[in-house]
């Protein structure tokens, strides 16, 4: 096969693979930032733990008893 044709085929295939990577990333990555929701969930969980400790209902994991 001629070297120029091989280079052209490899360049086209490389471009297709490169573009498919970005198309797949567009589907995988989220559109919105959910870090604020995670902070609220973490704060809510910590508040529940704090209330449990204050009420005397704190149950440590079995390996710490």
- Which ranges of 1-65 would DSSP assign to H, the alpha helix? 3-28, 35-54
What is the reported pTM? Answer: 0.43
> pLDDT band at 50, cuts 50/70/90?
confident
Neighbours of 60 (CB within 10 A): 7
Measured over the CA atoms of residue 51, residue 56, residue 60 and residue 62, the dihedral's sign is negative
What is the spatial distance between Cα 61 and Cα 65, in angstroms, rounded to a whole number? Answer: 7
Both tokens assigned to 14? 């490389």
Q: What is the mean pLDDT of residues 22-49?
A: 76
């Amino acid at each position: 096969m001629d070297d120029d044709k091989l280079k052209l085929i490899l360049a086209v295939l490389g471009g297709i693979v490169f573009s498919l990577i970005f198309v797949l990333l567009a589907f995988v990555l989220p559109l919105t930032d959910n870090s604020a929701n995670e902070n609220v969930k973490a704060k809510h969980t910590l508040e529940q733990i704090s209330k449990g400790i204050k009420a005397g209902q704190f149950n440590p994991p079995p390996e710490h008893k």
